[in-house]
Amino acid sequence: MYNYFNNLAQWFVHIEVLNKTAKDGDITSIIPNLLMSLPLFYNHSTLSKYLVECINYVIQLEYLLSPLMKLRVLEGSFVNVEGGRSNNVESDLLQEHSVRKQKFLIKQLGANKTQKAIERASAAAGAIAAINDNIAISLEITPKSSRHIKTLSPGEQQVMSDVLQDLKPFKFTPGRKYEGFEKLGENVFACIDGSKMKIDLDIIVNRLLSGHVDFGNDDIDSNSDSDSDDDDMPDL
């Protein structure tokens, strides 16, 4: 149980940092957050597509893009559609919601729909969604959400507090196990073999850099540059 709650707390803190970064539009925290996400995704699966996406994003920003393009990519990661402070959302998440609304309208067109009809439905998706939202607000219809929209009552909070005080989940107790999570490490990094992770990440990096960087030529160029610099160096 101690290991389970340690992992739970670590994941919670990381997700909260990601949420705060998105809301504040803090572009300076994007790359550190991605680097912190690497072991989390790697621990879940060495073939995780999110692991590859994180590495690819960092490589492009740090090595392949120009400073100006890097800044444009970072600033384009978040968008504020409502205005105000700390109301930013992820740009790709906003795009996914937009695509979902468009797909819903296109599906309602039925069979034998024309390209023109699809274009008109897609263009009107935002306005139709806004009308539906206004109707739901007028009729006091509770929107569907994956988040908890009701806070815990004081009585429920007290019950939870009493249970946690009895369990003492963050105090290691020899012999105590949480059924189903016996193989869970003390933290996310405890189950990771550092040497194997380095090999796996090197394979991914080399595959992503294929066609962009010639390591052999870089070594030759660096050696030739250093030699030329030595020749041009003035005598003392």
Residue 225 CA to chain centroid, in angstroms?
39
The model scores a pTM over 0.75? no
Which tens digits make up the pLDDT trace of 176-225? 877 777 777 777 788 788 889 899 889 888 888 886 655 444 444 444 44
For residue range 146-179, list pLDDT tens digits in order: 666 667 788 888 898 888 888 888 888 887 877 7
| Rounded-to-integer distance, Cα 151 and Cα 170, Å | 24
* 3-state DSSP assignment of residue 142: coil
**What is the 8-class DSSP label of residue 29?**
G
Residue (of 34, 33, 51) closest to 42 by Cα position: 51
Per residue in 1-17, pLDDT (tens digit) is 788 888 888 889 999 99
Q: What is the 3-state secondary structure (H, E, C) of 190-236?
A: HHCCHHHHHHHHHHHHHHHCCCCCCHHHHHHHHHHHHHHHHHHCCCC
Q: What is the mean pLDDT of residues 124-151?
A: 80
